[in-house]
Amino acid sequence: MWRYIFRRFMQGILLVFLVAAIVFFLGRFTGNPADLMLPEDAIEADRVALIEALGLERPMHEQFAIFVRNALRGDLGESIRYRQSAVEVFFSRLPNTLMLIPGVMALALIMAIPLGILSAIRRGGIIDRLSGTLAVLGIATPNFWLGILLIYLFSVQLGWLPSARMGSWQHYVLPTVTLGTFLVAGYMRLIRSSMLEVLDSEFVKLARIKGLSETVVVWKHCLRNALLPVLTLWGVFLSGLVTGAIVTETVFAWPGIGRLTYEAVIFRDYPLLQAVIIMDAVLILFINLLVDILYAYVDPRIRLTN
Amino acid sequence: MIDDAVLNVRDLHTHFYLRRGVIKVVDSVSFTLRRKEVLGLVGESGCGKSMTALSLLRLIPKPAARTVKGEILLEGEDLLQKSDREMQQIRGSKIAMILQDPQTSLNPVFTIGDQLREAIARRHQGSKSELLERIVDALRKVKVAAPETRVHQYPHQLSGGMKQRVVGAIAMSRSPKVLIADEPTTALDVTIQLQYLKLLKELQESSDMAILFITHDFGIVAKLCDRVAVMYAGRIVENGPVREVFDHPQHPYTQALINSVPKMRKQVGRLPTIEGQPPAFFDLPPGCRFAPRCPAAHARCQTEYPKSFTVSEGHTADCWKLESAQ
Amino acid sequence: MKTLPWTSVIIICTMVFVALFAPWLAPHSPIEQSLANKLLPPFWQDGGSTTYLLGTDEFGRDVFSRLLYGARVSMTVSALALLVGGGIGLAIGIISGYVGGRVDGVLMRLVDAALAFPAILFALLLAVTMGQGLRTIVIAISLLLWATFARVVRGEVLSIKQRDYIALARVHGCSLLRIMVTHVMPNVANTFMVLLTLYVGVVIVAEASLSFLGAGIPPPTPSWGLMVAEGRGKITSAWWLSLIPGIAITLVVLAFNLFGDWLRDRLDPKLRQL
């Protein structure tokens, strides 16, 4: 099992490295990298200092070496807007985003698992068709518009829930629903198709032949197998979650790393954007590793080989 | 003699309802299985053998398939009249089944012990250690080496042959009256096949069990079975004691099947084959289904389905050829 | 023809028609301001008029006209992005699948990495470093597509590789390039078409999202995403500014998705897991 984990870890490191390299090159190739990284009111002395520090007039591979060296020390540049280390800004906002995650995951699992299972067991039935329609709608509706629509309905018209920023538990509701929608839709379809596949498998037939009741067959034998793809495809969902977080936090003015990304774009704060992207890659590496460990533990075929 | 029958299938019809039409995959099938008897059900792939087996257990894929007619008498009780709940009680305890592919028969995320325990615990209540003993015992009975370790292992850690033995152990754990074996050795290595068949025979002899052995291999039938029923395109065309049918096959299809089994002692230039293909189930001819491929067919064979003629004690065949002999 | 999803097809055709003929269909110019007429509601509400069917924004620009021109933007960007991203994915998929070996290994590693990381981040980075514009956004959205296309096409190619006409072509001495272009490519066309239709929806939402975040086509060109963003501040008083473009996006994406599903079921059902 550990060899599997190690391999996945190395793949993750490769990803971080690739991302950093791409970010680096994109920054250096656009004519005037120094201008990109300096605030508008920078004086000539600042410019010179920056060029010196990052070696902007030296050949590319040397610049990259400096970049990597700094990165390993935790220095990914200084945010133009915040006048602080970009990495520091990132970590100061990260907890706010992390606070949203449990709610979103809970929503996704509580809704997707039962709906997915019931849709598969009673294929073509009312629940199947209803949830299918909801899923299709959920995927077609753009995240940002859903958020605004929800604000309009629940904040403006009904006045039940607040429309922006963090605060009490009420503040969590709309952002969680917005962010969670595509996750619910995606998971539900996945669990449904996974269940359908498992229900058709030989060992389920054998379980019925053994004389086990339908309940046991479904909830014990099918479920564990059907949920495995949820873990394997987690990486894809994580990617979508990050994207969704950017948009959702922007709509709800939620002070997390999603909104930070938006600010970096709007204010053309290149160093901050650079840091956010690379740190996102590290974050993704970390989370994927955790999921991989979980998956390796849950699937005995991986746990007990190699 | 009929009192000895543990399973009596009468005029069984199972149909598949598809958009294109109705497939009569089991079309008026009747046979009897006696106590401690091994009945072979032989036929080509797709002739309806597996569907017959699933019909007996009432596990046909709903809603596409339905058993529309017939009686399945297990120790005198008609299974087709039972409720779902009653059927569930019967499955595993009175009738059991072994499936063809050992690789997919076992759930990959549970240990062998878990899967055995599910079956055993339904019959024997007891403490954890008592159950464990029974499980190890069950494994020992099917000759799985080092059963104490195997109990804690997962299916992927066992070879194909061993997995199939575990499936066998699960099937026999509650001492069923009838065991249905659906091509249990087809997916195994040839060398393992013989071992497995021997094991089945031993287990059957030391218990009260009757086996319905489904296969396409006449060679296996010769080794293992007491009686044989030959199936073609959804119907049974010949039925009788193995030795009898082997030495005096009456139905042209049976004859062709037997001829196609390579015999070690005879010199053969070319292996005989049966011309043509089995009929598509949508396109069943009104008469004898084998007529298009039969070397001895007359006009009557095409239009009228042959009656069942008795050849000798317990040996029947459905062929018009036999009418003249009566 | 009977089972064609007519509603979707009608919506799609309307969209394409509007995109092509927007300049002739729109009653007003999409960028012309008229401060005297600012923030008028849609015609069915009090204060609205049929001159400005769906109301006006804070600069007095006609929402309906902007909506029509926005269709143009969406379609243009989508078509270009699908061409570029899909084309790259197609090429990489064919090469990777057919050539195999190390090349395949490296390319697929890249594809895996690309799929694991949210492409929107690169899209945003491009907007900041290369500036906003059509070129930037087409490249940005292409980044979203190429990896999935490459992977699916590669899968197709792997099975095509085994077929007899490929072996025959090699026996006849066809060059590698020729085989890939004249024998392999036409046979993945089916799958490729289905993928294209399935991803139109994704691309439209991507363009709208990027515009919403301020990284898309720069103002004053109306993009639906941009319209939603601009109307956001006035949601309490002028709901139509944000909500109407959003409805347009949802409807169009829904239509394309349903049509894509139907096409997939007809042409290549094994893509169902997408």
Tokens of A111: 């809704």
For residue C67, the 8-state DSSP code is H
Do the beta carbons of residue B95 and residue B177 sit within 8 Å?
yes
For A200, the domain range is 96-298
Please name the residue of chain C whose CA is at the shortest distance from the CA of residue A25.
C129
d(Cα A33, Cα A26) in Å, to the nearest integer? 9
Nearest to A164 by CA among C16, A156, C127: A156
Do the beta carbons of residue C207 and residue C77 sit within 8 Å?
yes
Nearest to C234 by CA among C33, C72, C63: C63
**Does any domain span residue A193?**
yes
Sheet containing B235-241: order of strands:
B95-98, B178-182, B210-215, B38-42, B227-232, B235-241, B315-317, B309-312
Asked if A39 and A106 sit in the same domain, the reply is no
Measure the CA dihedral A230/A231/A235/A236, to 10°.
-10
Query: Looking at residue A29, what is its pLDDT?
Result: 75
C-alpha distance from residue A25 to each of A21, A36, A107, A180 (Å): 6, 13, 39, 34
Tokens of B326: 């009566």
Asked if A126 and A213 sit in the same domain, the reply is yes
CB neighbour list of residue B32: distance below 8 Å, 6 or more residues apart:
B2, B5, B7, B8, B9
Please name the residue of chain B whose CA is at the shortest distance from the CA of residue A223.
B109
Query: Looking at residue A31, what is its pLDDT?
Result: 64
Nearest to A174 by CA among A199, A143, A205: A143
Query: Per the structure, how many domains does chain A have?
Result: 2
Chain B, window 191-220: residues with a beta carbon less than 8 angstroms from a chain A beta carbon: none
Query: Is residue C106 within 8 angstroms of chain A, CB to CB?
Result: no
Query: Is residue C103 within 8 angstroms of chain A, CB to CB?
Result: no
**Does any domain span residue A303?**
no
Query: Looking at residue C272, what is its pLDDT?
Result: 62
Which runs of consecutive H residues, i.e. helices, occur in chain A? 2-29, 33-37, 44-54, 60-72, 86-121, 126-140, 143-150, 169-199, 202-209, 214-216, 223-226, 228-232, 234-251, 257-266, 270-298, 300-303
Residue C17 CA, chain-centre distance (Å), reads 16
Query: Looking at residue B282, what is its pLDDT?
Result: 66
For residue C34, the 8-state DSSP code is -
Asked if A213 and A280 sit in the same domain, the reply is yes
pLDDT in tens, B46-63: 788 888 988 898 888 877
Mutate to test the interface with A, among C129, C145, C228, C243 (most CBs of A within 10 A): C129
**Does any domain span residue A80?**
no
Single pTM value for the model: 0.78
Query: Looking at residue C109, what is its pLDDT?
Result: 86
Tokens of B65: 């398939």
Asked if A107 and A245 sit in the same domain, the reply is yes
Query: Per the structure, how many domains does chain C have?
Result: 1
Mutate to test the interface with B, among A209, A217, A224 (most CBs of B within 10 A): A209
φ, ψ (nearest 5 deg) of residue A230? -60, -40
For residue A152, the 8-state DSSP code is I
Kindly report the CATH number assigned to the domain that includes residue C254: 1.10.3720.10
For C222, the domain range is 6-28+43-271
Q: Chains near C, with 3+ CB pairs < 8 A?
A: A
Q: How confident is the model at residue B266 (pLDDT cuts 50, 70, 90)?
A: low
CB-CB: which of A209, A211, A221 is closest to B89? A211
**Does any domain span residue A134?**
yes
Query: Is residue C117 within 8 angstroms of chain A, CB to CB?
Result: yes
Per-10-residue mean pLDDT, chain C, length 274: 78 89 84 80 79 82 88 91 93 88 88 86 88 88 90 88 78 78 82 87 91 87 89 83 90 90 76 58
Chain B, window 154-193: residues with a beta carbon less than 8 angstroms from a chain A beta carbon: 154, 156-157, 167, 170-171
Asked if A287 and A207 sit in the same domain, the reply is yes
Asked if A52 and A117 sit in the same domain, the reply is no
Query: Looking at residue C80, what is its pLDDT?
Result: 94
Residue A257 CA, chain-centre distance (Å), reads 11
**Does any domain span residue C35?**
no
Per-residue pLDDT of chain A (306 residues; tens, 9 = 90+): 778 888 888 888 888 888 888 888 887 776 677 777 777 777 888 778 877 777 777 787 888 888 888 888 888 888 878 888 888 889 999 998 998 888 898 998 898 888 888 888 887 788 888 888 888 888 888 889 999 988 888 887 777 777 777 777 788 888 899 999 888 888 888 888 888 888 888 888 888 888 888 888 878 888 888 888 888 888 778 888 899 999 999 998 889 999 999 998 888 888 888 889 999 988 988 888 888 888 877 777 777 764
- Measured in angstroms, the CA of C233 and the nearest CA of chain A are apart by 10
Q: Which residues of C touch A22 (CB under 8 A)?
A: 122
Q: Which residues of C touch A266 (CB under 8 A)?
A: 214
Among candidate residues A41, A73, A105, the one where a domain is terminated:
A73
**Does any domain span residue C54?**
yes
Query: Is residue A288 within 8 angstroms of chain C, CB to CB?
Result: yes
Could you tell me which residue, B4 or B197, shows the higher pLDDT? Answer: B197
**Does any domain span residue C96?**
yes
d(Cα B7, Cα B14) in Å, to the nearest integer? 18
For residue C49, the 8-state DSSP code is B
Kindly report the CATH number assigned to the domain that includes residue A288: 1.10.3720.10
d(Cα C137, Cα C35) in Å, to the nearest integer? 31
Asked if A242 and A195 sit in the same domain, the reply is yes
**Does any domain span residue A190?**
yes
Do the beta carbons of residue B122 and residue B207 sit within 8 Å?
no
ipTM beyond cut 0.90 = no
Do the beta carbons of residue B88 and residue A211 sit within 8 Å?
yes
Touch between B and A (at least 3 CB pairs under 8 Å): yes
Asked if A46 and A115 sit in the same domain, the reply is no
Sheet containing B5-17: order of strands:
B22-34, B5-17, B65-74, B77-78
**Does any domain span residue C37?**
no
pLDDT in tens, B153-170: 888 888 888 899 999 888
d(Cα B276, Cα B272) in Å, to the nearest integer? 13
Half-sphere exposure of C116 (CA within 13 A, CB side): 27
pLDDT in tens, B5-45: 888 888 899 888 877 778 888 888 888 898 888 999 998 87
Tokens of A205: 């037939």
Query: Looking at residue C253, what is its pLDDT?
Result: 92
